[in-house]
Chain A
Amino acid sequence: MDKRTAADLTAFHLNGQVVEVAANPGERLSHALRERLGAKDVKVGCNAGDCGACTVLVDGAPVCACLMPVQQAAGAKVETLAGLVKADPHAARLVDSFQAHQAAQCGICTPGMMVSAVALLRDRQAPDATEVQDALGGVLCRCTGYRKIIDAVVEAGAGRAPAPEGSGDVGTTIRRLDGLPKVTGTEAFGDDVAPADALVLRVIRSPHAHAGFAFGDLDAFRAAHPGVVAVLTAADVPGLNAFGVIPGFIDQPVFAVDHVLFRGDAVAAVVGEAEAMARFDPADFPVTWEPRHPLMEVAEALAPGAAQLHPGRVNNVMCGGHVACGDAEAALARADVTVEGQFTTAFVEHGYIEPEAGFAMMDGDRVVVQACTQAPVMDQDALMQILALPRDRIRILPTAVGGGFGSKIDVSLQPFLALAAIRTGRAVRMTYERVETMQSTTKRHPAAISMRIGASRDGRLSGMTFDGDFNTGAYASWGPTVANRVPVHASGPYRVADYRATTRAVNTNCVPAGAFRGFGVPQSAVAQESLFDMLAARLDMDALEFRILNALDNGVPTVCGQVFAQGVGVKPCLEALRPAWAAAHAECAAFNAANTTRKRGVGVAAGWYGCGNTSMPNPSTIRAGLRADGAVVLHQGAMDIGQGSNTVIPQIFARALGVPVQQIALIGADTDVTPDAGKTSASRQTFVTGNAARLAGEALRKAVLAQVNASPDATITLTPGGVTVTDGAQDFTLDLARLSPNAAGYLLEVNETYDPPTKPLDKNGQGEPYAQYGYAAHLVVVEVDIPLGRVRPLRFVAAHDVGQAINPLLVEGQVHGGIAQGLGMALMEEYIPHRTENLHDYLIPTIGDVPPIETLIVEVPDAHGPYGAKGLGEHVLIPTAPAILNAIADATGARITQLPATPARVRAALKEVGHA
């Protein structure tokens, strides 16, 4: 070609500066911006135009930078978030309103959202919510549920100033303490931190669900690929070639040895210079596969004669769970009314917009891993075994996390990166491709549930049995936890005196299923809450009143025989929905009288969730100290994956210490300097780490007051360079110079640990699994397009007992995000290996799918919670899906028992009940 541009420079304007890049032909603009021009504020979530995170403005028009050849931008004006916030007045207003509304949670989609919003606001003054939805419809968010984003853009467009924030004390809304970098494009996520000369790692994965394999000549492969520095296989793992999260279930190989058990199983890694790896095609890697019959369904895996996938797991049953109290069968036999049903749910993908990413490097003889994670110390534990290194030779320095929802508790790329850094002595980076993260990381377990529930004529529950099989995929991950948690929770937050629940986690050749917001409880709630509506109908009772009648209460035993003397808040949640329930029924009746092809219905469901590990030690430790310059430093190791622990934990600590939260200096998670605050999972951080923070604040307060012999209710004031204590009429100034700093530089240092009091479960699951539960009830109004089977939720009212809201707006953010995920699980999400491994075949809700949500914060304080607070993270989606299914049934009479309720399935169910 005459004008080929192989070595040509492409010049354009980037945020007002002229830049030139020597890019490869057809190189993605996103790649050039990030890797050649340092514009790390452009986030890459899918490389396929499905998520919109990489949205930039090219000559003012929003485009996906991942879908534009950089050469096409020649001469154009390219604007990214980091540039816009410096120069554009709309962006400046959005920076303010996004923070005020907490419209950024994890922050990974925020650049795409804000850049799209700038384009809208330049074009249209004061857009309404619908216009905002249309303009931002191309950007996916998995955390926020979108409504706060809509609010933030509408407000910025209207030129209104955000509402003032609170003081920061417990119970008041303040902006996220770590919020500014998320809205200015400076937050550093897993893919943003590697040094420029880092080697690049690619993993070779199985294209088959079940296969034997053999490598060809790996040395010849290396020789034929200049720039490839190392090839790693199982032979290169110095320690245990396995990882997992539960002792006794460490069964997933870092690199499979001679056979693979799922599509996506890793067999080798190729490490090379970045340019060489850009040319590397994994199809050229010398490996031959010998496909075997895959077991994709639980029934197939359980069938006699099925291949046994793991030694010791007869019939592929990995483990089970069981809770029983009273005599369920006898109670069902004497019940006046019984209902039963079979329910199935699908694999659900976490769908965080940030794929796993990070890098590892050597620091002397230590290996340092910087990656996105929900559980830094668990990463360290896993690497100790895999690398055969002591703890002090491994440092985990988490980056910001672009969403996790459970999947980033498990290690993913950390072992590959650490092995490669040790082998090569160089920094090695990796970012999962979208297909790779979807193929290889954990999912929500598909469940097949049979359930029977009885009641007496007066509406009291009489007997409940639950049998659930969970497809746990090829390896264990958190499957045992799901199997154990479900029987404890499958009763729902109700008084069930006669109960039996049994679960099995079954291995198949599917992707491993693991932790996902709710650990199996959202699935069991679908069955139980659907049957409750059927039971109420059979009893001719109001579905909400039926739940209130049977709701757990203080002094009433759970199905585990645990009796809480205080803090049981489900009844207040349900009661809080009464006005909306009545109004929604009236509204739907009026609509339905006037419409034939569209019908509306209202549904309700409740849920509960035990906060923290089930009957297992579950400590968090918080460290804090007073520095010689008078600064109070909080070492906060609870991973903030968007939920807000970087704000909540300091708020609790500040209350306990008795100073404004804004004066606390924060040090984030780093296994070198931050004690273990446990994993971010199981709705435990506000509760468990929050308590550790409370204890640490109290201890530091005590230590400060002891310096001047002040009374316990004295006031501590931090001033620049000093500490003053006011006790009654007297002021004392701490003589900081008199105190000698410890090795860490602290004059006073505290380390406090909290571990929730639980008791083991016996063989019938009787005991005290959790020190506290949180409670929830959701109401939803849906509209069903009868001829098409399309379901559209119109509004939610969500009541959540959080004990004490530490930061009420963060509570709302969790509720909105959970509802969006529950809505997706109910209506559209189904991961099928090989078929829905991207974000256009696998659908998560967009900004057009989540209707307005009213959050009712209920506060029934818990004696164990910090200032009464309870966990919230999982509760927010547990009632959502069954509430939607109940609303569909209310609207149409059709009962959906297979999730997701896609238009085709809904339409089939509608026809079954006689709709034309």
Chain B
Amino acid sequence: MIPGPFRYRRVRSVDEAVALLSQLGTDAKVLSGGQSLIPMMKFRLAEPSYLIDINPIPGLDFIEERDGMLRLGALVRESTLERSSLVRQRYPILHDTAEVIADPLVRNLATVGGNLAHGDPANDHPATMLALRAQVVARGPNGERVIPIDDFFVDTFVTALQPDELLTEIRIPAPPPRSGGAYLKFERKVGDYAIAAAAVFLALDEARRITQAGIGLTNLAYKPLRAVDAERALLGQQPSEELFRHAAELAAQATDPVSDLRGPADYKRAVARTMTLRALRRALERAQANA
């Protein structure tokens, strides 16, 4: 399959990218890892007139902890995230997520920034970022703005990014003591989108009460979902199997999946419940190990 014709522009700085985006508007698409965009162009589901290749921009592939935040540059590849010892030790939920995205070949090019900017509810990072209360940094002609992840996903394939803005960085709050997270995905085979997947982040106080709860769900609604009621049910409580089962049920109730080749809606809702429950248990194990 051959994509429609387009013009190709390589940029070497964020400013250059923003200037081109401002000039070209919705005619242009940003090419990052290209592992979702290029297939869409081959199917002619996307037919941009211009591709702005941001890969040559130096210094956008950082993974660093600074000022109480993990900062991921827009061009961090999934394979780099997967191999990062900082991520593995301090943010195992991110390691869980990177490891189940597509397959190892795709992960060599696919980027974390692209996974979010694509706005696909079937992508895996959105749920994790919702659970972690991440922030997305975008640069536009009027400078930089920080978008809370709750405001980022607007609709299927639609995010809060404006046509003249470039996603430059993702910020994740550093984990407090007695906290842990996990991402669990149920898929038909390696490389497939989730039938259902759940991201859970928990933090406990010294009395073992839950002080922070984040639950994000993948491919279970028209956009990435936060299970707000389930989170609320956990807050202030001491973790127990009964509490987790209740929260998982609330999370499943928040979903609105469609019946398709991956299964009927009821089945997906049931899988969502199970994935949430298992992710809660694993997040708790990690929080306890992190005391």
Q: Do A and B bind each other?
A: no
